[in-house]
Amino acid sequence: MRLYAIAVYLFLYIPIGIIVLFSFNAGRHASDFRGLSVKWYGKLTSNPFAMEALTTSLTVAFVTAVLASLFGTMAALALQRVQGRMRALYDAVIYIAIMIPGIVIGIATLIALVSVFNALNPLLASLWPEGLGTAPRLRMGYGSLIAAHTLFTMALVIVIVRARIAGMDRALIEASADLYATPWGTFRQVTLPQIFPAILAGFLLSFTFSFDDFIIAFFVAGSETTLPVYVFSSIRRGVTPEINAIGTLVLATSLSLLVIAQFLLRARDHRAATNRGAIE
């Protein structure tokens, strides 16, 4: 049993180890191992295309994470007071947003936005005041990327924060109200500190999702290139150690964010449980 578990963990982590190992390989090929070197990282940082893709990915991931955690938390707070048919409708939409395959979201967003833009652009051009030069053209790019990533991640934040709200001690809120705190005061001093770890975890997961997403970006990025899209097209052109270096950096980024997110979610569960135990 234990041996089996070890084998599965090896299965999960050996491929990751291989990427990391080869990224430090001085030779050109996997079979050509010539000792350790950071030269592929050097090549990477002097590659303007890779660096531009990295900047795009970081920007999109950051904005996505901010929007998703802000709007997701707002919706989660509001939804606890929504009941009946409206609640069922929201639950269904959130469920669909999480479960629908990324490829369908990518395609649907692509054709919907391109069609809307095609309809709006002539209108925009005709309404644009003369003196301001040429009218801006709506097109796929940062905006569509962020909007599409925010859909899934916002639904995710709603689910995470809502779970935390459900696990919150209602008595504290009532106590706060009994002690004449304003609703805003109660929110700021009682609710927010309790749900904050969940919001932060949601932020980190949203960032990771957006940073790692390939399939949605493949469709909606327009003329922009995100890091996963860059990696995919590099793989298509042939496997190089440079991809291993990107892979190692990407894995290191998301691994550290995830470990933090996991411990935020778990440590909080643990503490909440101990607190409750202490009160009882």
Partner 1 sequence: MQGKWINRALLMPATAWFLVMLVLPLVVVVIFSFGERGAAGGYVPAFTFAQYANLPARFTAFKNTLILAPAGTLAALLVAYPLAYFLAVRADPKWRTLLLVMVIVPFWTSILIRTYAWIYILGGRGIPNLLDMIGIEGVRLINTPAAVLIGIVYGYLPLMVFPIYVSLEKLDKRLLEASGDLGAPPWRTFLQVTLPLSLPGIATGCMLVFILLMGEFLIPALLGGGKVFFIGNALVDLFLQSRNWAYGSAVAATLVMIMLVTVTLYMRLIARGSGQREDVSVL
Positions 173 through 202 that interact with partner 1 (CB under 8 A): 183
Task: Show contacts with partner 1 in window 204-263 (CB under 8 A).
Answer: 205, 208-209, 212, 214-215, 218-219, 228, 231-232, 235, 239, 243, 246-247, 250-251, 254-255, 258-259, 262-263
Task: Show contacts with partner 1 in window 69-98 (CB under 8 A).
Answer: 70-72, 74-75, 77-79, 81-82, 93, 96-97
Q: Does 143 bind partner 1 (CB under 8 A)?
A: no
Which residues, in sequence order, are bridge partners of residue 25?
36
Nearer to partner 1, 131 or 213 (CB): 213
Query: Computed from CA positions of residues 234, 240, 245, 249, in that sequence, does the dihedral angle turn out positive or negative?
Result: positive
Q: Rounded distance, CA 162 to CA 32, Å?
A: 52
Nearer to partner 1, 135 or 151 (CB): 151
CB of 129 to partner 1, least distance (A): 27
The closest alpha carbon to 186, from 199, 197, 200, 172, belongs to 172
Which residues, in sequence order, are bridge partners of residue 41?
none
Task: Show contacts with partner 1 in window 51-70 (CB under 8 A).
Answer: 70
Query: Computed from CA positions of residues 274, 276, 279, 280, in that sequence, does the dihedral angle turn out positive or negative?
Result: negative
Nearer to partner 1, 15 or 136 (CB): 15
SS3 25: strand
Kindly tell me which residue out of 87, 137, 188, 266 binds partner 1, with binding defined by CB under 8 A. 266
- Other CB atoms within a 10 A radius of the CB of residue 53 amount to 23
Q: Does 25 bind partner 1 (CB under 8 A)?
A: no
Binding letters toward partner 1, positions 114-133, x by CB under 8 A: -x------------------
Nearer to partner 1, 31 or 126 (CB): 31
CB of 183 to partner 1, least distance (A): 8
In degrees and rounded to multiples of 5, residue 25 shows phi and psi of: -80, 130
CB of 230 to partner 1, least distance (A): 10
Q: Does 168 bind partner 1 (CB under 8 A)?
A: no
Q: Rounded distance, CA 112 to CA 103, Å?
A: 14
Q: Rounded distance, CA 203 to CA 69, Å?
A: 5
CB of 272 to partner 1, least distance (A): 15
Long-range contacts of 23-28 (CB under 8 A, 24+ apart): 23/241, 23/244, 23/245, 23/247, 23/248, 25/241, 25/244, 28/241
CB of 133 to partner 1, least distance (A): 28
